[in-house]
Amino acid sequence: MLVKTFGCALFGIEAIQVTIEVNIDRGINFYLVGLPDNAVKESQQRIQAAIINLGYYYPHKKIVINMAPADIRKEGSAYDLPIAIGIMAASEQVNADLLEQFIIMGELSLDGTLKPIKGTLPIAIKAKQDGFRGLIVPKANAREAAVVEGLEVYGVDNIHEVISILNGEKEIKPVSIDAIDSWRDVDSELDFSDVKGQENIKRALEIAAAGGHNVILIGPPGSGKTMLAKRMPTILPPLTMAEALETTKIHSVAGLVGRNASLVRIRPFRSPHHTISDAGLVGGGTYPQPGEISLAHNGVLFLDELPEFKRTVLEVMRQPMEDRVVTISRAKMTVDFPANFMMVAAMNPCPCGYYNHPDKECTCKPGMVQQYLNRISGPLMDRIDLHVEVVPVAYKDLSDKQRGESSAAVRERVIKARKIQEERYAAYPTIHANAQMTSQLIQKYCDLDDGCRNMLKNAMNRLGLSARAYDRILKVSRTIADLDGSENIQTGHLAEAINYRSLDRDNWGS
C-alpha cells in the first residue's frame, strides 16, 4: 500500500515542502531514498522501537520510503514522525484520508514521545502558504508555530496523540495564542538609569540608536564600556511585527527560541567571545547555519576587546555590514541570512589599557599603541560612524544616589528621530535610517551652509581627520539634527559629530 505524508526541509531561514512516500510490499527490507543524511537514515531504529513500545504493530515487510524532491538534502531527526505515521498509515493502522491536510514534523524517542525540533516557525509559514489545514509538531514547539494565523497547530506529546487526531478517536484542540500580545515589547531588567555618570557616553549611544550607527567605545578597564553596551537594546525602538517574525525565524532555525516560546519580543543582543571562528561569526557549516551576525539581526552585535579578534574574522564582517545580508556558498547550495545589525565595539586604548588615562600611567613602549590600533583595518573602521572615548567614573558620581535618566525616556527621543527618518526615506525601500544613506542621499539631505562648510574644512585640517571621516560626520550630523527636530544641520550638530571621530585623528597613538 502506498501513502504520502508531508514535512518540510529548511533552506536558510525558509522552508521547502517535502513529500514522504511510503510503500509497503511483500518482502523483508527497509529502503530510504531521496538524499537523506545520516540522522534521517538512522530513523528506522528509532521509529521501530517507538511504534512497538507504544503497543502498535511494526510491519516486517519490504518498506520503501522516498523523500521528494530528491535533489534537496534532508537533514536532522525531525522526519522521524512523518515517516513513522506514513509506515503506520501504509500498514492500515492510521486513517490516511487526513494526511494530505497536515504538515507533520517531530523527533522520536524510543518510547514514542516527541522532542522539540528546529525551524518550526518557517515550517508553519510554509504550511500556510501551501494551503495545508494544519501542522502537527511536538508540544514544546506549538506556541512558536501558532503565531501563524489561519493554521491549525496541534502540539502533541507522543505518536499516540497524532494517531488520535488522524483517526478522530480523541478531540485535541489546536493551540491558540494572541500573536499581537506575543509580539508586544517587554521591559528589560537593564536600564540606563543604572549607569552612574557617563552622560556624554549615553548621549553618544542615543545618537547611535537614533541613526542606526555603528559605534566603538575606547577606554581603560573598568570604565563601564560593557555595562553601557548591554543597555543599548533598551533605547532602540520596539520590534515591529515584521521584524519580530524575521528575527524569530532566524532564532528558530538555530534552535534558540526555547520551549513553549512564541515570538522573539526584545531586540537581540549577541556578545561573541574574541576566540570565535569565521564560521561562528558569519555562519556556515556543511548545512549552513546562521552565525552571530545573523542572530543579532534587528538588534545589537557587541564585540568586546575588538583588537583581540582574529583579523580574518573581522574582515569577513565587512561585506555583511555593507549589504546587511550574508551569503554562504557551498558546492550544492547558496544560502542568504539577514544581517541587519548595529555593531557596538569596545576596546582598550592600548595593550596595557591606560593610554590617556587621567590618573594611571601607560606602560606601553613607543609605537605599541599605534601597533595595537592597527589590528583593526581601515576598511572595517570605515563602517564605524562614532568613536567614543570612555573615561573612568569619578568617585563623586559613583557615590551619588540620584538615578540617571531612564532608558524609556531616551527611547522616546530615539523613536521620534526614527519616525522622521522613516518619512524622509519613504521612497527608498532599502533605506531605513541615516546610517544607511548612500552618497547621493548624503548630498541631498546633508546640505551644509557656508558656516558649517568652513567649520568642517577647518576641523579636518586642524585635527588631521582622514578623508573617510567626511561622510561619517555628515551622517551623524543629520542624526543629531533629527534628535533636535531641526530640518537643517546646524553648526552645533556638526561640531558634536566631529567630536566623535577620535580614532581618525593623526595624533592618536603617536
* Percent of the residues in the chain that have a pLDDT greater than 90, as a whole number: 65
Grid look-up 557551498 returns 330
Assign 171 a pLDDT band (cuts: 50, 70, 90).
Answer: confident
Task: Look up residue 341 and give its DSSP letter.
Answer: -
* Tens of pLDDT, residues 405-453: 899 999 999 999 999 999 999 999 889 999 999 989 999 999 999 999 9
Task: Return phi, psi of residue 449, to 5°.
Answer: -80, 180
Per-residue pLDDT at 507 exceeds 60:
no
- Give the pLDDT confidence of 289-337 residue by residue, as tens digits: 999 999 999 999 999 999 999 999 998 888 888 889 999 887 777 889 9
**SS3 (DSSP) at 412:** helix
Three-state DSSP at 449 gives coil
What does the block give as the cell for 436?
544607511
pLDDT by residue (tens digit) across 106-118? 999 999 999 999 9
Residue 510 has pLDDT above 60, yes or no: no
How does pLDDT run across 440-490, given as a tens digit for each residue?
A: 999 999 999 999 999 999 988 888 777 678 889 999 999 999 999 999 999
3-state SS assignment for residue 356: coil
Q: What Rg value do the Cα atoms of the chain yield, rounded?
A: 28
Whether omega before 272 lies within 30 degrees of 0, making that bond cis, reads no
The C-alpha cell at 412 is: 522616546
Q: What is the pLDDT of residues 136-145, one digit of tens each?
A: 999 999 999 9
Q: What cell was used for 56?
A: 502498535
Q: What is the pLDDT of residue 224?
A: 86
Specify burial of residue 143 (Cβ count, 10 A radius: 0-12, 13-18, 19+).
Answer: buried
Closest by CA position to 343, among listed 231, 422, 244, 229:
229
The pLDDT-based confidence of 397 (bands split at 50, 70, 90) is low
Amino acid (one-letter) located at 474: L
b/e map of 52-89 (b: 16 or more CB within 10 Å)?
Answer: eeeebebbeeebbbbbbeeebbbbbbbbbbbbbbbbbb
At residue 133, the pLDDT reads 95
**At 38, phi and psi to the nearest 5?**
-65, -35
pLDDT level of residue 395 (50, 70, 90 thresholds): low
Question: Tens digit of pLDDT for each residue in 366-391?
Answer: 888 888 888 888 888 888 999 999 88
Q: How much helix, strand and coil, in percent to the nearest 5, is found in the chain?
A: 40, 20, 40
Amino acid making up residue 502: S
* Res 383: pLDDT: 85
Q: Is 27 exposed, middle or buried (0-12, 13-18, 19+ CB in 10 A)?
A: exposed
Residue the block writes with cell 540617571: 404
**Mutual orientation of helices 80-90 and 159-167 as an angle, nearest 10°?**
50
Q: How far apart are CA 37 and CA 79, in angstroms?
A: 11
What pLDDT is recorded for position 462? Answer: 85
Q: Which three cell numbers stand for residue 475?
A: 551622517
Average pLDDT over every residue of 118-142: 96
Per-residue confidence at 164, pLDDT binned at 50, 70, 90? very high
Please provide the average confidence, as pLDDT, over all residues in the chain.
Answer: 90
Percent pLDDT > 70 in the chain is 95
Question: Cα dihedral sign for 376, 379, 383, 385?
Answer: positive
pLDDT tens digit sequence for 35-54:
899 889 999 999 999 999 99
* CA-based nearest residue to 148, from 172, 130, 121: 121
What's the whole-model pTM score? 0.90
The stretch 228-250 carries a mean pLDDT of 93
Q: Residue 265 has what pLDDT?
A: 86
Q: Give the mean model confidence (pLDDT) for residues 324-352.
A: 89
Contacts of 397 (CB under 8 A, 6+ apart): 196, 197, 198
- State the Cα–Cα distance between residues 321 and 277, nearest whole angstrom: 17
Whole-number pLDDT of residue 399 = 65
313 and 292 Cβ atoms separated by less than 8 Å: no
- Identify the pLDDT of residue 185: 63
DSSP result, 412-465: HHHHHHHHHHHHHTTT-TT--SGGG--HHHHHHH----HHHHHHHHHHHHHHT-
CA 66 to chain centroid, in Å, comes to 34
- What cell does 428 get? 527608498
Instruction: Give the alpha-carbon dihedral of 140, 142, 143, 145, to 10 degrees.
Output: 130
- Cα separation, 445 vs 432, whole angstroms: 14
User: For the chain, how far is it from start to end, CA to CA, in angstroms?
Assistant: 80
Q: What is the largest CA-CA distance in the chain?
A: 90
User: pLDDT band at 85, cuts 50/70/90?
Assistant: very high
- In this predicted model, what pLDDT tens digit does every residue of 175-207 receive, in sequence order? 988 766 665 666 778 888 888 878 899 999 999
Q: Output the CATH code of domain 2-177.
A: 3.30.230.10
Give pLDDT, residue 181: 64
What CATH superfamily classification does 192-433 receive?
Answer: P-loop containing nucleotide triphosphate hydrolases (3.40.50.300)
Domain ranges across the chain: 2-177, 192-433
